[in-house]
Amino acid sequence: MSDLSWKPIESIKMGQEVLGYAFTKGERGNRWRAQKAKVTNIFHRKSEVVKLITTKGTTYCTPDHQWMIVKRGEKSYRHTYELSNKSIRFLSPPTPLRKRNAIIGKSLPNNKGAKVLSITPIGSMDVYNITTETGNYVANGLLSKNCYGGPNKPNLTLWNGEVEAWTLAFERLNRDIYFTLSYGEPMGSPGFYDVIDIIGKHDNWECCIITNLSFSPERLLESKLAKDKRVYVIGCFHPLGGADWEIFKKHILMLRDSDIKLMSMYLFYPPQIEWFKEYWKWFDANNIRTYVRRYIGKYEGKQYPFAYSPEVKQFMRAMTQPKTVKYGLDLTSPKGRLCTASKDMILVHHDGTIGLCADCPNNYICDANIFDPDFKLNDSMVYCPTNLCGGDYGMFHLIDGEFGDLPEKIWHDCFVAQTENITGGGREKVNYPKREAMEKWLLGKPRL
């Protein structure tokens, strides 16, 4: 607090003053100086929590909380997950506390800070966040930036509710259809169960749902699709994406116990790679097929997936089927290869417009609409126009004689390419053909 007394964050009230800081001008130039900071907002939510151990003690916080690190310059903040081998600016209170008023307005000490020793995920729990007038505060002696963990953004749905029109549009295709409901959080849409009912009424239609499982699947399990075992679920768990581990576990076990074919997906975003080792132990003990998806992009100046360590690459190659290794990990260009997009795969947008591939600019939108009574799928294949086949589903449709006729294998299971070599699950132990090679990294000592 601003008087240097200590108070748990959950007991802080609006309008109270905590200890903050500001970059202000003084007799000796611009400095970070301690300031009284009035609390302007308080948030309460469920979130993943990590144990942050430094040379100054232990702090429990969220993975995305921001801390001021020891670095020359006006200011430099890092998220918790970016603190490996770094030091956080630390403020020691004066002794005795009768001198506490002397700290306000004074320059912050230019010490070596609190060196980060380890960052360990401990699960999901209630957390309390605050904002202050200064935009920051001191937490457990560590210089911290305001939290903005308020209520979730409101759901945005573009579902028009025209059940008959959508039903007729797909019936005109006159073929077996494998639907994939993805992008955003499909189970949160008000029209989600309208779509599930539409698909369920057609015995030759199947559906794969890609979801973070933040919504209960109870109603889904009562649907005709689920009872007919024509629905498959890919549960995406990303600790830094705001997923609630306890809710995720509860809902994925509900699906498993109802004999729904499912997989869990974990993004190998650099700061959360090492954490996967602990999550995988739970998935494996509970017979949940699990795979990791490579991250494509820059992180701390390094380009991924090329920047993965040799040990991580070896693990990913052991877990992943060969076609995904070639196009998804090694990023071999598919440009110029034949693809069954437009013949066996289309992306249908909320207004009926049709794209051919999520990895092409603007989804490779074509001059067609699913609601057009004359719309038909192509009889022939197209040549891939892009240098990157980033989606596992698109890889199925890319023609490469080295891997056989993969499109036939999407039926009756989760579509993701890894299902080709990861079997079992549910009531059986999961079979990873190269488990021994995987465990060289999985059972190794975490590097934090």
pLDDT in tens, the chain (448 residues): 677 777 888 888 888 988 888 777 665 556 677 888 888 888 777 777 888 999 988 998 888 888 888 765 445 788 888 888 888 888 765 544 445 556 676 777 666 788 999 888 887 778 888 888 888 888 888 888 876 544 444 556 678 889 999 999 999 999 999 999 987 788 888 889 999 999 999 999 999 999 999 899 999 999 999 999 999 999 998 877 667 788 899 999 999 999 999 999 999 988 889 889 989 999 999 999 998 988 888 887 889 999 999 999 999 999 988 888 888 889 899 999 998 888 888 889 888 988 887 766 665 567 789 999 999 999 988 888 888 876 666 677 888 888 876 556 667 888 766 666 788 888 899 999 999 999 999 987 544 4
What confidence score (pLDDT) does residue 232 get? 95
Please work out, in degrees rounded to the nearest 5, the angle formed at the alpha carbon of residue 227 by the alpha carbons of 223 and 229: 115
Q: What is the DSSP letter of 93?
A: P
What confidence score (pLDDT) does residue 172 get? 95
- Spatial contact of 88 and 143, defined as CB atoms under 8 Å apart: yes
Cα of first residue to Cα of last residue in the chain, in angstroms, is: 31
Residue 72 buriedness (CB in 10 A; 0-12 / 13-18 / 19+): exposed
Sign of CA dihedral 278, 280, 285, 286: positive
- The Cα 291–Cα 301 span in angstroms is 26
Q: What is the DSSP letter of 329?
A: I
What confidence score (pLDDT) does residue 97 get? 47
- The Cα 346–Cα 179 span in angstroms is 10
- The Cα 314–Cα 318 span in angstroms is 6
- Spatial contact of 418 and 431, defined as CB atoms under 8 Å apart: no
What confidence score (pLDDT) does residue 415 get? 72
Residues forming beta bridges with residue 68, ordered by sequence position: 77
pTM, to two decimals: 0.72
- Spatial contact of 142 and 88, defined as CB atoms under 8 Å apart: yes
* Residue 49 falls in which region: left (phi positive, over 0), alpha (psi -120 to 50) or beta: beta
Please report, for residues 262, 304, 332, the alpha-carbon distance to residue 316 in angstroms, rounded to integers and kept in the order given. 20, 13, 16
What the block records as the tokens of 107 is: 């320059």
CATH number belonging to the domain at 9-145, selected among 2.40.50.140, 2.170.16.10, 2.30.30.60, 3.30.930.10? 2.170.16.10
- Spatial contact of 214 and 247, defined as CB atoms under 8 Å apart: yes
- Spatial contact of 91 and 34, defined as CB atoms under 8 Å apart: yes
Strands 297-299 and 290-294: unpaired
Measured in whole angstroms, the distance separating CA 10 from the mean position of its chain's CA atoms is 27
- The Cα 45–Cα 53 span in angstroms is 23
- Spatial contact of 136 and 145, defined as CB atoms under 8 Å apart: yes
- Most distant pair of Cα atoms in the chain: their distance: 84
> Which residues neighbour 7 within 8 Å (Cβ) at sequence distance 6 or greater?
1
Residue 255 buriedness (CB in 10 A; 0-12 / 13-18 / 19+): buried
Give the containing element (helix H, strand E) for 57: strand 57-61
Please report, for residues 34, 76, 88, 429, the alpha-carbon distance to residue 73 in angstroms, rounded to integers and kept in the order given. 17, 7, 14, 54
Residues forming beta bridges with residue 190, ordered by sequence position: none
* AA identity, residue 79: H
> Which residues neighbour 167 within 8 Å (Cβ) at sequence distance 6 or greater?
198, 201
Residues forming beta bridges with residue 44, ordered by sequence position: 128
- Spatial contact of 413 and 232, defined as CB atoms under 8 Å apart: yes
- The Cα 293–Cα 316 span in angstroms is 9
What confidence score (pLDDT) does residue 373 get? 94
- Spatial contact of 308 and 292, defined as CB atoms under 8 Å apart: no
Residue 439 buriedness (CB in 10 A; 0-12 / 13-18 / 19+): middle
Please report, for residues 215, 282, 315, 320, 371, the alpha-carbon distance to residue 252 in angstroms, rounded to integers and kept in the order given. 11, 12, 24, 22, 35
- The Cα 343–Cα 363 span in angstroms is 15
Name the phi and psi angles at 263, rounded to 5. -145, 160
